[in-house]
A = this chain, B = another copy of it.
Amino acid sequence: MTDSRILSNVKDAELVEKRRSQMIKGAITLFKEKGFHRTTTREIAKASGFSIGTLYEYIRTKEDVLFLVCNAIYERFRERLEAAIDWNSPPVANLKRVITAYFQLMDDMQEEVIIMYQEVKSLKKETREYVLTKERDMVSMLENVMVTCLPASSSRQDATLLANNIFVQGQMWGFRRWMLQKQFTLETYIERQIHYVLQALAIADPGQAAAQTD
């Protein structure tokens, strides 16, 4: 599990794992509060519960911390989304459940979403691309579920685009709550967005109810 892309002086893999967990936890708290650039390595060390010297035993540069944080966040995203998929349930019910789970995830972790959005650019090209791969994976998960609901009249492209649409609409909820919450609760927001997707897929949405009604 320990990310070997980030070099560490310490050899004990278990310890590296543990220290990096502390680091990620501390750093996320700080990044939420003040962003990557306004957070100092000293603060990260302190919030992680060890000294600045120790911090640098487990990373090479400050950017490494950002990478670890971004990676950890995506890992959490992926895990939770994966847990929502049930390939044995009916396609449309599965789609509804996954979309609902994804939107709830974005609601729970809105601050992490913001970190991702605003700081990924601070990663150097190579690393950034690696992180973006993970984003693509998430969209793919949505897309794969979407495909199973595709009627004959629709093309694979629709699945791709609708998956992308859902993806950014989820982020929008995290990002733009202040604008949407006057008119929508998370539940009504989910319900409407699912409704539009089903319409786009030319699937009648009888009850116009949220996923759990299935």
Contact = CB atoms under 8 A, between A and B. Distances in A.
Interface of A: 35, 37-38, 114, 117-119, 121-122, 132, 136, 139, 157-158, 160-162, 164-165, 168-169, 171-172, 176, 178-180, 183-184, 188-189, 192-193, 195-196, 199-200, 202
Contacts of A117: 117-118
A144 to B, nearest CB: 15
A192 B165 CA distance: 11
Contacts of A118: 117-119, 121
A136 B182 CA distance: 13
A136 B179 contact: yes
Contacts of A188: 157
Given A165-B193, A168-B172, 10 more contacts: A35-B121, A117-B117, A139-B179, A157-B184, A160-B183, A161-B192, A164-B180, A165-B169, A165-B196, A168-B168
